[in-house]
Amino acid sequence: MAIYVIGDIHGCIKTLVSLVDHLDLKKDDELWFCGDLVNRGPSPTHCIRFIKSLKIKTVCVLGNHDLYLLRLSGENSKNTSDLGIKALLEAPDKNELIDWLRHRPLTHVSGKYILVHAGIYPTWDTDTIKKLSHEIEQELQCDNWQKFISNLWGNCPNVWHSELKGEDRHRAIINIFTRMRYLKPSGDLDFSVKDGPTSQNSYLIPWFNFKGALKRKERILFGHWSSLGLVVRKKFVSLDTGCGRGELLTAIRLGDNRVFSTQVIDDMLPTSCV
């Protein structure tokens, strides 16, 4: 049995199918996804349908673009300029696709691995990760989920405190799991810089380089940071290789760290911001 982990797909169904075919999956293999199934690419509807149809075990955590889609699903489809998302929101099986998506976890902890879209706050141990993820998942899976998700946008609070309550607490948890890249030395999140680490932003600390971030037994598997690209280390793997920008879609096989990549073959849509 092998576990393969795929980075951000961003609605690129042709590229996804090409990569999965290349993996030559066996019936007892598992396929994990780092989130951001939608937005930017032309076929988010087909991406979700394809993943749902796979006959092997799949795990997909939510990314910030997936949460954006969930928010839009309660609004008029005219509120988005992304043609792929617009088509999904007008699809005959829209409700089934949205229900499937909102029942995905924010994190997946299995053995010596943690799967998450963006990252893990340095002070959170494994039990805290599970607890905070579950807090959000309960809200997304309840009957009143659309009201819940409509109040989660914004950059504040930009630092974690266990005493946070209500919307501030939920927003902080979601921003850490799905949007985080850099921390300031104080532990505050910085959302202004999306580039990879350079001398120009050396005053910021990539979350995985923050003190204590990797002092855990699990290896962290994440996407989200396309400008960081593929990074394979003992304690973490970064897997967003720019599929949403027309570059590469990448998978890694856990165990032997073999990397599989395919060039994007979908026609990309104009970039939308989340």
- 90 Cβ neighbours under 8 A, 6+ residues apart: 77
* 197-231 pLDDT per residue, tens: 987 788 999 999 999 999 999 999 999 999 999 99
- 37 Cβ neighbours under 8 A, 6+ residues apart: 9, 10, 11, 44, 47, 48, 51, 60, 63, 65, 66, 101
Mean pLDDT of the chain: 94
Q: What is the pLDDT of residue 270?
A: 62
Q: What is the pLDDT of residue 166?
A: 95
- Res. 271: pLDDT tops 60: no
Strand partners, 8: none
β-pairing verdict for 236-238 and 219-222: parallel
Backbone phi, psi, residue 157, to 5°? -70, 150
Question: Rg for the chain (alpha carbons), in Å?
Answer: 17
- Res. 80: pLDDT tops 80: no
Q: Which of 70, 5, 67, 53 is nearest to 31 (CA)?
A: 5
- The structural domains of the chain, with segments of one domain joined by +, span 3-152+217-263
Q: What is the pTM of this model?
A: 0.95
**84 pLDDT tier (thresholds 50, 70, 90):** confident
**Concatenated DSSP letters of 228-266:** T--EE-SSEEE---SGGGTSEEEEEETTTTEEEEEE--S
Q: What is the pLDDT of residue 202?
A: 87
Cα–Cα distance, 136 to 138 (Å, whole number):
5
Peptide bond into 197 cis (omega under 30): no
The fourth-level CATH superfamily of domain 3-152+217-263 is Metallo-dependent phosphatases (3.60.21.10)
Q: What is the pLDDT of residue 138?
A: 98
> Could you give the angle at the alpha carbon of 188 between the alpha carbons of 183 and 189, nearest 5°?
55
* Range 72-96 burial, b when 16+ CB lie within 10 A, else e: bbeeeeeebebebbbbbbebeeeee
* 167-203 pLDDT per residue, tens: 999 999 999 999 999 999 999 999 999 999 987 788 9
- Res. 76: pLDDT tops 80: no
Q: Which of 127, 106, 102 is nearest to 116 (CA)?
A: 106
